[in-house]
Amino acid sequence: MIKSDKWIKSKCLVPTFVATRLEDKTPFSLTLSAPRTYEEVHYYTHKTSEQLELEIAYGKSDDKGQVMTKLGRLPIRYRELTAEEKTAFKPMISPFEPNQVRRRETWTLYGDRGEVVADVSGDPIIEKVISYGVSSFGYDVQLADEFELFTNVNSAFIDPKNFDKKCLVKMKGNSILIPPNSYILGRTVETFDIPRNVTVVCVGKSTYARCGAIVNVTPIEAGFQGQVVIEISNSASLPLKIYAYEGIAQLLFFESDEECEVSYADRQGKYQNQTGITLAKV
Residue whose C-alpha is closest to residue 179's, from 209, 155, 159, 152: 152
Dihedral angle sign, alpha carbons of residues 13, 14, 19, 20: positive
Which of the residues are catalytic?
A: 231
Supply the DSSP string of the chain, one letter for each residue: -B--HHHHHHHHSPPSEEEEETTT--EEEE-SSS---SSEEEEEEEE-SSEEEEEEEEEEE-TTSPEEEEEEEEEEEEEEPPHHHHHH---SEES--SSEEEEEEESEEE-TTS-EEEE-SSSPEEEEEEEEEEETTEEEEEB-SEEEEE--TT-----TTS--GGGEEEEESSEEEEPTT-EEEEEEEEEEE--TTEEEEEEE-HHHHTTTEEEE-PPBPTT-EEEEEEEEEE-SSS-EEEETTSEEEEEEEEE-SS--SS-TTTTT-TTTTB-S-PPP--
